[in-house]
Amino acid sequence: MITLEKVRQRAESDAKTYGYHLNPDPKFLMDLLEGLKMNEERYGYPSCPCRLASGKIEFDRDITCPCDYRDPDVEEHGACYCALYVRKDLFEGKTAIQPVPERRPQEKQARAYRIVAETAAEKPSGTTAVVPKEPLEIKLRLWYCKQCGYVCYREEPPYVCPICKAKREMFAEIKHA
């Protein structure tokens, strides 16, 4: 069972690992955690409460919390897109929390909309599907962190290595493992 306590604990623990803080506004924070809980119940994974999920993990992977964009967003703007994770100075109120522009590529956003539309169209309704089906292929590859050797299997490497915190530029593809 997914409890709010568990969702909060997971976010707190992850924040600590990266040196972030959770949003200091208790009501705002609770709403985000509720959103994460709802998404996890609905989809099986905690997709971002501030974005449209396709319901297919392959396409929502980059917006599953903590999303791929959190680390560069906290670095550049002091907060992630949702403002669930914030930098210390924003947590302490020294810097105001500002709206964070969407870093997720337009192409991926559009893809989510298409899939949601397609899924709706697939439901038996007696009418013909109006959304043309297009292959939505995802090419997963093996990446490794040149600094610590961490290996992951993704479309693109993470912005920050979860082990040694090296930047994305330190990742390279494993060609012949």
Print the binding letters for residues 39-78 with a second copy: x by CB under 8 A, - otherwise.
Answer: -----xx-----------xx--x--x-x--------x---
Q: Assign 55 to helix, strand or coil.
A: coil
Q: How far apart are CA 46 and CA 9, in angstroms?
A: 14
Q: How far apart are CA 145 and CA 157, in angstroms?
A: 9
The H or E element spanning position 145 is strand 141-145
**Number of neighbouring beta carbons within 10 Å of residue 176:** 3
User: Closest separation between CB of residue 124 and a second copy, Å?
Assistant: 27
For a second copy, which residue of 4, 9, 98, 122 counts as binding (CB under 8 A)? 9
User: Closest separation between CB of residue 37 and a second copy, Å?
Assistant: 14
Q: Segment 81-100, which members bind a second copy (CB under 8 A)?
A: 88
Residue written as token pair 């396709």:
54
For residue 138, state whether it binds a second copy (rule: CB under 8 A). Answer: no
Looking at the Cβ atoms of 24 and 72, the one nearer to a second copy is: 72
Q: How far apart are CA 53 and CA 142, in angstroms?
A: 25
Residue type, 79: A
Looking at the Cβ atoms of 28 and 45, the one nearer to a second copy is: 45
Question: Taking the C-alpha atoms of 56, 10, 68 and 82 in order, what is their torsion angle to the nearest 10 degrees?
Answer: 90
Q: What's the gap between Cα 105 and its chain centre?
A: 13
Size of the site for a second copy (CB under 8 A): 44
Looking at the Cβ atoms of 8 and 114, the one nearer to a second copy is: 8
Q: Using CB under 8 A, list all residues that contact a second copy.
A: 5-6, 9-10, 12-14, 16-19, 44-45, 57-58, 61, 64, 66, 75, 88, 140, 142-144, 146-154, 158, 162-167, 169-170, 174, 177
